[in-house]
Structure 1
Amino acid sequence: MDEAFRLCEIDRLGVLDTPAEPVFDAIVAAAQAATGMP
């Protein structure tokens, strides 16, 4: 996949610069605790 296409798709999906989502933050925190990874 070329970089320009990848960036266009990310923009099209609207996944950057969105408000925080507490459910996903909790999943990430649990994964961090379980694996010891940042």
Structure 2
Amino acid sequence: MKLSIVATLYQSASYIEEFHSRVSAAAKECAGDDYEIV
């Protein structure tokens, strides 16, 4: 793993999809496909 993203998402159902799409886009710019979201 080149990049690990750790975030607290307690009570965040209303914006989880937006969070995932933004974080994934940023991670792909930095690490390609070698990242994880924890």
TM-score range, shorter chain: 0.3 to 0.5
Give the structure-1-normalised TM-score: 0.37
Comparing both chains, which one has the higher relative contact order based on Cα–Cα distances under 8 Å and sequence gaps of 6 or more? 2
Relative to the length of structure 2, the TM-score reads 0.37
Greater Rg by CA: 1
